Amino acid sequence: MTTDIMELEFGQVRIFRNILIAELNEGVLFTTENNRVLLTIGKEAFEGGDYGYISFRKNSYAVDPLVYRESANAGNLKAIAVVSESELIRLNAHKVERQFYKPPNSFEVFDNLDQAINWIQYRI
């Protein structure tokens, strides 16, 4: 998998095909300001074209709930996937976070990165 990697204050972002893959740092509070950085990277990297976002949750961190609404309104962000080996994190994402995204089939939860990449490629 060939990717461009960007190190940010709050984590690492990889750009792969038409997907932005973020792995946030342990203990970070992911704010709307952090989210705007990711949305800007997505808009610039994909030149305003459609793309997907994968939240690769290897670490534990907190998310400001306003981030969900902001991401759901991003015009060219067409699919969001959460990847975690933790059943609790996957369940929370499926039951809580999914409610913020419309249409509901634009958000999915996986236990491995390859499944998430394949799903986003299919959605876009």
Cis peptide before 103 (omega within 30 of 0): yes
- What residues have CB less than 8 Å from 88, skipping those under 6 apart? none
In this prediction, residue 2 carries a pLDDT of 53
Cis peptide before 65 (omega within 30 of 0): no
Token pair 């067409």 is at which residue? 78
In this prediction, residue 92 carries a pLDDT of 84
In this prediction, residue 46 carries a pLDDT of 93
Query: Mean pLDDT for each 10-residue chunk of the chain (124 residues)?
Result: 83 95 96 96 92 94 86 88 91 83 83 96 92
Q: Would you say 63 and 99 are in contact if contact means Cβ atoms under 8 Å apart?
A: no
Where do the domains of the chain lie, and which CATH numbers do they carry? Answer: 4-123 (3.30.750.24)
